[in-house]
Amino acid sequence: MYWKGPGVISKILPMVFLGGLLTWTSVASGEGHGKAVGPPGWAVQGLRAAGVAVWPWQRSDATYEVSRDLNPFYLQGDFDGDCQTDIAVLVRRLKDRKLGLAVLLKRGERVEFLGAGRNVGNGGDDFRWMDLWYVYAKGVVHQGVGESTPPKLRGDALLVEKSESASGIIWFDGIAFRWYQQGD
> Please, what is the minimum distance in Å from the beta carbon of residue 169 to Ca ion?
17
Quote the CA–CA distance of 170 and 166 in Å, as a whole number.
Answer: 13
For 79, phi then psi, to 5°, come to -80, -25
Q: Which is nearer to Ca ion, 80 or 126 (CB)?
A: 80
Q: Show Cβ contacts of residue 41 under 8 Å, excluding neighbours closer than 6 positions.
A: none
For the CA atoms of 108, 110, 114, 117, what is the dihedral angle to 10 degrees? 100
Give the CA angle between residues 49, 51, 55 to the nearest 5°.
95
Distance in Å, CB of 88 to Ca ion, minimum:
11
Q: Please state, as a whole number, how many other Cβ atoms lie within 10 Å of the Cβ of residue 78.
A: 18
Query: Which one, 54 or 88, has the nearer CB to Ca ion?
Result: 88
Minimum CB separation from Ca ion for residue 82, in Å? Answer: 4
CB-nearer residue toward Ca ion: 99 or 114? 114
- The CB-of-107 to Ca ion minimum distance in angstroms stands at 9
By beta-carbon proximity to Ca ion, the closer residue of 84 and 122 is: 84
Report the nearest approach of Ca ion to the CB of residue 109 (Å): 11
CA distances from 67 to 44, 55, 99, 116 (A): 14, 10, 8, 11
Q: Which residues bind Ca ion (CB under 5 A)?
A: 78, 80, 82, 84, 86
CB atoms within 10 A of CB 26: 13
Shorter beta-carbon distance to Ca ion: residue 6 or 41: 41
